[in-house]
Structure 1
Amino acid sequence: MPAGSNDQHPTATSPPLKQPASVHRAVIYSACAPGWGDIYVGSRFKGYATLSVFLICAAWATWSMALTAKAVVGQFFDSLEGITPFVMPDLPAVELAISVAGIYFTWLWGMLSAADTASAQRRKTGVSAQASVGWAVAMSWFCPGSGLVYAEDRRLGFMIFGAYILGFLLIVPAYQQLFLGLHELVKSGQLSPNNPFAVIGFVHGLIVRLDYSFGKIFQESTKCFAVAASLAALKQGPLAADKKWLTPTPGYGIALLGLGWLCPGSGQLLQGRNRIGWGFLAGYCGSRFLIVPLLGEGFIGVETADQLAWLAVIVQWSSMIEAPVAMVMGKRSGSH
């Protein structure tokens, strides 16, 4: 190049960095359409596979419901016209149950997978993990395990998710007992419309036994543990230096009340007071599990079970009140 020339060689510039995936957005996308969150992050194969399974289950459920409606309505009108007496036709109950369960399980898996894929992508690109208490609680409540994946505890998150799915299998015998009980009552004529209070009493007893079945309590306890473990993981990780949950503030005080109602002990865990937080959660779940064998083996009746249920309520309200009181008193995590 001649001396004095103003021409300059163009300098090579690095391409703009790809914007890191948002775990929040990925989970929302998958909640709207399972698989969409994975596609958004870039895992197209996993996303389209999840979406395909969801659509297949949805189509199967729609077809099963159409067959059910056709059979019931046809039999009903035939009985009105006097062609045949009304007899409940054979219904595709198993197919309908499997397809609906497939829809729900695929929906749960879509959110968990989206959270996992987005979190892995952020780690790979060296971007710090997102840490929102509200998002962790919401994700853990609607899809137990996803909040722990969000809080960077992937292994425990998948274990909790598996335990929650197992709860559905454990609760099946309780629903079978409920429907068999109703069938026996109808067959014996005890469910007479002339005695509505007796009907209410019978149905209430069956529902209480369902609510305090092992599978039901196991599933609810798994959900509470998922919320508590997610908040504990956040507190031990990215929110370790966060002191706002021990600083008297009306907004955070109301949030602590809500957390205590949703999952006893979770507010204390956010404050870094692990011992009392896990103690509240153990007391709440333990008081509910206590009723399961007592009612199931016939040691207590339905009325006594209703009375013992107040133990869990007392623990719940104690947790709700204690966390804001600790905030007002200015306790610090190091004191427990």
Structure 2
Amino acid sequence: MQPRFPTRPQARFRARFRAARFGGLVAALLAVPARAGDAPGPAPLWPEPDGTLILARPFGRSEISLRLSRRVAGAVDTLTWDGVTFLADTEPGDALQARAEVGSGGGCRQASEAGTPQDPTGEPAARRLRALRAGRSWAETETRMAWDGPSDPADEPPSDCPTGAAAAALPAPILHKRIALGLPGLGNAVEVQARFDLAEAAAALRLEPLAAAVPAEFSSAWRFDPASGGIAPLDPEPGERPDPVILATPEGSHALAVWAPGPPEQEPDAPRPGFAVDAEAGANRLSCRFRVAHAAAGAHAFACYALVGSLADVRAALRTLTAPP
């Protein structure tokens, strides 16, 4: 019998990316029943009376705990480890959630899983959540995303996606998402697999399977270099970067990083992940993004990963994930 060699992490995640790219991964994982048109189904049942679901997994000296909540349409409104909260959680937009930008220029519209106080439809977040399934350390949701309200002309800097009032009349994407705690050998990973279903084609598409507003106390921003396995201070200029980014407390005791696998070598034209840290009032927004040009109607599926722990913990996890096959 030939010996079996364990698959290296990067090879495993490239295989997962390939499956997600063609919709097979998410379709298999998110076994939610189809409904005719957009007819609402029965309200999902939450395990806690306050409309929440807790996922937890031990890691290091504590446990990583995620709380999904009805008030943010099934997104994560609390992430804790070692007694510290990793999400700002002052408004729905601070949740660990999926976001999308559909279109370009004056026709661009922004949508989010959790919604915002300016949701133009006025539909409660709880009614946008269409399905919920869960186990001890994973959960699957189906959600109609919410369009953001019209952009504020006073925004500084001005938005590059000036959502208009007409966006509310257009069908928002349907989000199928699986979130899970832990990977083989990486207990501090949070895996997010997301499929965005578009009702119509779009000239441009920016999808964020994972975005979160991190408290201002996480004031040290770092860039991880996959080639060397080292970290360096992040350039404060806004914008996307090809390398994973980390937000940490100044002493490095707590940190949050985002990462996603690149496409297989056989698919050089497939969307590549980008990572961003954007400063906001009282928080820093961390995100993992993919851009698609001339996006067809239908499903667009991608995966992103958050890494939780100390700065040393997340750096070690990133080195494992980016090790050559």
Using the size of structure 2 for normalisation, the TM-score is 0.24
Name the structure where strand makes up a greater proportion of residues.
2
Name the structure where helix makes up a greater proportion of residues.
1
Using the size of structure 1 for normalisation, the TM-score is 0.23
Larger-gyration structure (1/2): 1
